[in-house]
């Protein structure tokens, strides 16, 4: 980016103002303080829509200036948060966040659970996972925690059996029994909806399913249960920013009755609200 050219006098004046008014600058910028804009990264659906509802209906009257930046993948919102171009993000679950911190050396932390976007199995060829033919190909996310989540969903329905102790990072190598001899095709999560013409079924993250015009509540042939589900999407910040007053305001709004009603009305079971206890 080209830097503006300023005169020596203007530069001296600017320096003097900066030295005498640095406290005001901190409050007015997006980098901290109660009065600055809170910049939040999100995937478009449902995170971006939930944040847009808050921005349009609740933020101003609660003293929050909110800016939303949308992303189409799962990596950039975290790298941007770590690097400081975002103040917070909303799109991921805690197992994914933990794995990201471990693999990337970041220090991002959860603030509050916002909603549960259940993962589902989708197919243009079968009506339920029990109808998958022998040797069928099933597409799954290629990142560690989402692949493990997909395999656990299939295991919960008895399609496969995972080895004892297989956790949130389970992979096809952890499959103990595969009675249908299913083959697993690992794809970028965003590519999974486009794979439905080529595979027997695909296990698709909620946001990418909705982006593709699929309704998890009605189109999935198998959908995660909300009971004891560890995959609620959460508001995350860089460690040390948990007590930022702007972050606290957004956390309170995300678990408010107004946002719960918005989620219930808009998503009709395709996204489930989470409220603070």
pLDDT at 26 over 80: no
The alpha carbon of 277 is separated from its chain's Cα centroid by a whole number of angstroms, namely 21
pLDDT band at 274 (very low <50, low <70, confident <90, very high): confident
Asked if 209 and 228 count as a contact pair (C-beta separation under 8 A), the reply is no
- For the chain, the C-alpha Rg in angstroms (whole number) is 22
Higher pLDDT: 222 or 34? It is: 222
Neighbours of 138 (CB within 10 A): 24
Question: In the chain, where does DSSP find H-type helix?
Answer: 8-20, 22-28, 49-57, 76-83, 94-104, 144-156, 206-211, 216-219, 245-254, 257-267
Measured CA to CA, the distance from residue 147 to residue 142 in angstroms comes to 6
Is domain 120-223 given the CATH code 3.40.190.10 in the classification? yes
Q: How far apart are CA 121 and CA 205, in angstroms?
A: 9
First to last CA, the chain: 47
Cα gap 221→217, rounded to integer Å: 9
Strand partners, 108: 238
Q: Given this chain, do its domains 36-118+230-273 and 120-223 carry the same CATH topology? A: yes
The whole-angstrom distance between residue 3's C-alpha and the CA centroid of its chain comes to 35
pLDDT one-digit tens code per residue, 58-84: 999 999 999 999 999 999 999 999 999
Q: Please determine, for residue 11, whether its predicted confidence score (pLDDT) is greater than 50.
A: no
pLDDT of residue 47: 98
In 3D space, the residue among 70, 68, 89 whose CA is nearest the CA of residue 78 turns out to be: 89
Measured between alpha carbons, how far is 247 from 87 in angstroms, rounded to an integer?
8
Looking at residue 18, its pLDDT comes to: 38
Fold entry, domain 36-118+230-273: D-Maltodextrin-Binding Protein; domain 2 (3.40.190)
How confident is the model over 33-46, as pLDDT tens digits?
455 999 999 999 99
Helix, coil or strand: residue 120: strand
Q: In the prediction, which pLDDT does 4 show? A: 38
pLDDT above 70 as % of the chain: 86
| pLDDT for res 35 | 59
Segment 27-55 mean pLDDT: 81
Identify the sign of the CA torsion 168, 172, 174, 180. positive
The predicted structure's pLDDT at residue 7: 38
Domain ranges of the chain: 36-118+230-273, 120-223
pLDDT, tens only, 112-171: 999 999 999 999 999 999 999 999 999 999 999 999 999 999 999 999 999 999 989 999
């Amino acid at each position: 980016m080209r830097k503006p050219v300023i005169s020596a006098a203007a530069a001296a004046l600017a320096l003097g103002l900066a030295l005498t008014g640095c406290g005001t600058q901190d409050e007015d910028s997006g980098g901290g303080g109660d009065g600055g804009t809170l910049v939040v990264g999100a995937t478009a659906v449902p995170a971006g829509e939930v944040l847009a509802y808050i921005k349009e209906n609740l933020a101003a009257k609660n003293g929050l200036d909110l800016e939303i930046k949308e992303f189409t993948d799962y990596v950039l919102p975290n790298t941007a948060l770590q690097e400081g171009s975002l103040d917070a993000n909303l799109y991921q679950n805690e197992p994914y966040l933990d794995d990201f911190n471990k693999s990337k050396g970041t220090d991002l932390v959860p603030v509050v659970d916002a909603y549960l976007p259940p993962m589902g199995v989708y197919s243009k060829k079968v009506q339920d996972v029990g109808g998958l033919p022998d040797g069928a190909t099933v597409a799954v996310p290629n990142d560690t925690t989402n692949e493990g989540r997909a395999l656990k969903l299939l295991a919960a329905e008895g399609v496969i059996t995972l080895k004892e102790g297989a956790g949130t990072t389970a992979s096809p190598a952890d499959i103990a029994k595969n009675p249908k001899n299913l083959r697993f095709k690992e794809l970028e999560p965003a590519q999974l909806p486009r794979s439905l013409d080529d595979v027997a079924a695909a296990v698709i993250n909620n946001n990418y399913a909705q982006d593709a015009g699929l309704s998890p509540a009605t189109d999935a042939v198998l959908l995660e249960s909300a009971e004891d589900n560890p995959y609620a999407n959460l508001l995350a910040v860089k460690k040390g920013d948990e007590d930022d007053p702007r972050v606290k305001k957004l956390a309170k709004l995300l678990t408010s009755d107004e946002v719960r009603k918005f989620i219930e009305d808009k998503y009709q079971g395709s996204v489930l609200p989470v409220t603070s206890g």
